[in-house]
Structure 1
């Protein structure tokens, strides 16, 4: 079942969606970045040569568009470079990954707490702001490059960023994450427990740990915080398996991309031993998978995905001002979950 749905979702992602901000894969930013990261996951689950060929072609067609876009949010596409280098041996991929990693280590803007400031390609600044999104959009790439070149400096920076983000964003009362932190004002701004923010870190941390665990020791603090996060998220899962776009507002609309990312994190976290392997946790992830399938149309479009979302001025604004529409990151997070389910099925039936 996962393969059939995965193929539909993937095929929709590679169609010509020119002019659609959410679905146009032929540019260089975080939206297509999440898309190609997910496609790499799909390739690793299926080993379908056409998926790998598409990723190679995508880089060749779009790499020139990366010029002048060296910001945190647009770093996401580089996360596929280490794997593509290992497969193809194309030296440019490795050299470019190192170049961006060096920029990230030495030149990217940081907040007063030494967190990567969440910089974007749009003409807007979020000075001194820390967003959960950064872990997936930038730190995942840094961790993968650390693994590729065996760099302790890159691995230590990736680990440091994960810990800083958890310390600043994790709510001690509920253990889930706030969307962002303003270092200048010392608060979580609107204090929204936004579901997709939690998904970026729920999915991103096990992916990062997988890359750096052989280079640096993973501290107890990270494991404890991640465990508390995932337990906290399960407390907000609704009876149909999904989370609302702001999880502690159950009357807000259900949000598919964040729900998929959390379920991926549950499965990946158990796989790596970051959270205990429990029937209840596996059942919760399975419930998400089942709940999401009706949101995938016959054409492979994933519905129920909230639009691009900065830290909103109020919690209510996440409901009132952010519509749902198809996006590559929605397709991508769902494709990642489908890929993980496929891998799980392959292990069980091997």
Structure 2
């Protein structure tokens, strides 16, 4: 316990994603650029949904929540990682590691549940269009978002409190670029096999069940879509659902590969590579997949640009 107490005083050391060389400097710059693009894309999408009344629908309300989560998600890991690289400092305080672990788990679990609710929205819109205003009312939308945030927060709080009460006595070097649960477990000097099964079970519930629900709902959606007589309606429905399915598959598959395996099967380098997808790539792709493939969002962007130009001309 003496070493465990020392970790509280001195904190941890993150091995990071980069070493120090020309290639790693280029990669760091590239990630900073991707971070800026992800922030800009998600902020623009949120503003468009807020400003354009035509986007005040349940689907875009849930999408704005997803963009907000992506902003927080990528901001939890990338700024710390790049700052450490630039300042040649890889330390993180014990409290900082606790906060980073908690925030990342909250956002990951909440996004996993929200993506499932978004598939339900598309299922109702296509399979039960006449009942859509009732089944996806404003009250139900807020209930979904509240349920996702509450469940994600409770799950994160329980795991964070438990893990950081374990004795860290092997090392204080976390072989990762941020404080993530599987990497922290490798520092614990007592048997964690029972707890690992709990982590796997939670991962299956939070990640696999929503993913299965998405696949099942879209199987039903595709059945209904191919029964449509309108080719235009088919293309629009398939475009909307395929966008969501691309995002969901990328998020769930990478998450499942990390949280449903015992730590004995984890490779630090593999974990880092996989984590890049759900900490950087997914938040980057989400706004572009939903906007560039969506005529309503692109139309809203054009209208806002025209309005800005008109206001600028009037003021000048």
Whether these two folds match at TM > 0.5 is no
More helix by share: 2
TM-score (norm 1): 0.30
Larger Rg: 2
Normalised by the length of structure 2, the TM-score is: 0.32
Of structures 1 and 2, the one scoring higher in RCO (CA 8 A, sep 6+) is 2
